[in-house]
Amino acid sequence: MAHEIAHVTQRHLARRMEDQARKTPLTIAALAGSILLAIAAPEAGIAAITATQAGAIQSSINYTRSNEKEADRVGMNTLIKAGFDPHAMPMFFGRLADEYRYASKPPPMLLTHPLPEDRITDSRARANKYPIKPVPSSLDFHFAKSRIVARYVGINSDAALDWLQRKEKRASAETKPAYLYGKALVYLDTKQLDKAEPLLMELKKQFPNNNFILDALSDFYIESDKGKEAQTMLETALETKPRNPVLTINLANVMIEDEEYDRAVRTLQRFTHDNPKDTNGWHLLSKAYASLATRPMR
């Protein structure tokens, strides 16, 4: 994130456009000269055209690679100012290098980014100027990680469950609940409600106001045809966290599932007014309106 922020603060896109604007007339002139040369000496002209195009492309690659190096350097400063451990940057580049360890590598001059090995060396040299600053991960980070593994990494439920169980065995008492939460999600998604329920109820006792747990419990209550219990739980939570986006979206979803479309519309109208860029809110609002339109007259 610090690296990408640096691209914005250093105006890399604007600077690249300015650089291209300066170089384009030269490239066009060189191509025109090469075409004239091709009239007199076709082979030499074609070679000149190819060289001109290659030179323009290489210049663009070099400029991009230079920007990437600058983003790494400025990003390191952003990390430090934000209170994060600067040594995390070379660690990240190390993981990136591991991903491409066995991939074929073109010559460095043809790459738009510095080699991962070079980025590790450079960032480690800069990080070593600062003391190591361990930043412990929050429990919500581990909840989010388990949620991603359980639902979004593209592996089947058995593989996700195996990963979560192995992590649970080695986890500390502080992080173990996150892996239980991940297992509960897998059980929910595979309709094993009898296995999901005890895990979620135990987590609810430990973390009664945690959004990850309340979100999963909402899904459980919907699957168990207990919409009223879900509404009560979410409305109680919203008393302590008014207008919380996660809780509000879940409440509206439960209302739709319980066919309380009028209430869902009112809730979502307020939500989309406060959060106009939240696509989940607009999607649910359209779903509620569509359900209202097709609801039989009573």
Active site residues: 4, 72
Q: For the stretch 122-143, what's the b/e string if a residue is b when 16 or more beta carbons lie within 10 angstroms of its beta carbon?
A: bbbebbeeeeeeeeeeebeebb
**Tokens (6 digits) for 45:** 């002209």
Q: Which residue has the tokens 């609810």?
A: 204
**Tokens (6 digits) for 117:** 């090995």
In whole angstroms, give the CA distance from residue 181 to residue 244: 21
A 10 A CB-CB count for 43 gives: 9
In whole angstroms, give the CA distance from residue 138 to residue 22: 48
SS3 string, the chain, reads CHHHHHHHHCCHHHHHHHHHHHHHHHHHHHHHHHHHHHHHCHHHHHHHHHHHHHHHHHHHHHHHHHHHHHHHHHHHHHHHHCCCCCCHHHHHHHHHHHHCCCCCCCCHHHCCCCCHHHHHHHHHHHHCCCCCCCCCCCHHHHHHHHHHHHHCCCCCHHHHHHHHHHHHHHCCCCCHHHHHHHHHHHHHHCCCHHHHHHHHHHHHHHCCCCHHHHHHHHHHHHHCCCHHHHHHHHHHHHHHCCCCHHHHHHHHHHHHHCCCHHHHHHHHHHHHHHCCCCHHHHHHHHHHHHHHHHCCCC
